[in-house]
Structure 1
């Protein structure tokens, strides 16, 4: 039977596995698969695993419960090994790399920050700052603009939006860099110019939160900051 993997941790760690239930219906019992110095927290994999809310929540709850007990390398939802024996062999083969990363993320949590800006506010800024954009917009507004003018204005505005979004994201990331050990640029999120995860040491969490609030206040009401966390450090495994 295939083996569903939740997280990796040091071998011999006492864990409350009997209190937890894994993915599947009925919920699978948890167990460990050991390498040499590492072990994986696993369960039997369901025959048909789907990203249903119940199973995603079960995976998350298991990882979070383990993190309250010890440092773990959390695996993303859906990771399945062929069987216990091959998983054990993989733990042994990659033991050095896994142990190093386990030490690096111990005592850290992940925070995800998404940021967006009101589009109309940004457009007003571009028209205020860019003389070519103002001229093109005025010709179009008064009915004198050509098709080429509309295309030119669209390209100009698109380039300005991208450049200003990049600059805004860099300002935010620079402001938070002193509070975080690492940063990971996530996939583009619709409507947001920034989708970045930060690996934050627990002793800097309060400072990180305060810096996010200060940065948001300085950016102004046209900006929206959405901070999620603490999370298991999936982005940094």
Structure 2
């Protein structure tokens, strides 16, 4: 039967797996596949595995349970291979890399921060602070401007949006990176202008969280900062 892999840990990790349900309906039982210095936490792979809410929650719950006892290299949802021997072969062949990443993640958790700004507030800010944008907008509203003015204003506003959001994103990351061992920036989606993950040492969690709250207050209600964590360190595996 195919094998579903949840995480890689050091062989010395307690791996308390009794009564921890895995993915599937009914939930599959967890077990460990051992190599010389590493272990993989696995279970039988359900035949019809889909990213349903129940299975996603079960996957993350296994990671969180393992994190209570030590450092974990979490695998993304849905990682399946042929059998236990295939898992053991990978553990042996990539042992040095796995051990290096486990050392890098030791004593750390991931926090993901996304940020957006209210579009109307941003536009008002640009029209208030950019004399050229204000002039173009006034000419358009007068009805006497050239037909290409809306395009010119749109291009100007687009450039201002990118510049302002870029500066704000850089300032946010700069304020928080001192608390992180590593950081990983991803492409923002939708209205977000920032999507960044921080690998934060446990002993620095409180000042990290306090600084993020201070940033949110300083930026004000026009900004939406959404912090998730502590998470298994998916972004740093």
Q: TM-score range by the shorter chain?
A: over 0.9
1:189 is matched with which residue? 189
Following superposition, the deviation at residue 128 of structure 1 comes to 2.0
Q: In structure 2, the residue corresponding to 1:17 is in which secondary structure?
A: coil
2:178 is matched with which residue? 178
2:108 is matched with which residue? 108
Note the alpha carbon deviations across 1:59-98, whole angstroms, 9 max, x for none.
0111100110111101111111122111111111111011
2:24 is matched with which residue? 24
Q: Distance in 2 between matches of 1:17 and 1:146?
A: 71
1:98 is matched with which residue? 98
Q: Which runs of no fewer than 5 residues in structure 1 stay unpaired?
A: none
Note the alpha carbon deviations across 1:29-70, whole angstroms, 9 max, x for none.
111112221110000111111000111011011110011011
Q: In structure 2, the residue corresponding to 1:31 is in which secondary structure?
A: strand
Taking only aligned residues, the RMSD between alpha carbons, in angstroms, comes to 1.2
Q: In structure 1, the residue corresponding to 2:198 is in which secondary structure?
A: strand
1:149 is matched with which residue? 149
Q: Distance in 2 between matches of 1:31 and 1:177?
A: 37
Q: Which runs of no fewer than 5 residues in structure 2 stay unpaired?
A: none
In the alignment, structure 1 residue 119 sits paired with structure 2 residue 133: no
1:166 is matched with which residue? 166
Note the alpha carbon deviations across 1:1-46, whole angstroms, 9 max, x for none.
2110100001143222112011111110111112221110000111
Deviates more, 1:219-228 or 1:17-26: 219-228
Note the alpha carbon deviations across 1:115-143, whole angstroms, 9 max, x for none.
11121221122112222211111111111
4+ runs deviating over 4 angstroms = none
Following superposition, the deviation at residue 220 of structure 1 comes to 2.1
TM-score norm. by structure 2 comes to 0.96
- Give runs of aligned pairs for residues 185-224 of structure 1, distance below 5 A: 185-224=185-224
TM-score norm. by structure 1 comes to 0.96
Q: Distance in 2 between matches of 1:208 and 1:226?
A: 14
Following superposition, the deviation at residue 195 of structure 1 comes to 1.3
Deviates more, 1:14-23 or 1:48-57: 14-23
1:128 is matched with which residue? 128
Q: In structure 2, the residue corresponding to 1:69 is in which secondary structure?
A: coil
Count of aligned pairs between the two proteins: 237
Q: Distance in 2 between matches of 1:12 and 1:135?
A: 68
Following superposition, the deviation at residue 180 of structure 1 comes to 1.1
Q: Distance in 2 between matches of 1:150 and 1:19?
A: 63
1:65 is matched with which residue? 65
Following superposition, the deviation at residue 167 of structure 1 comes to 0.5
Deviates more, 1:30-39 or 1:186-195: 186-195
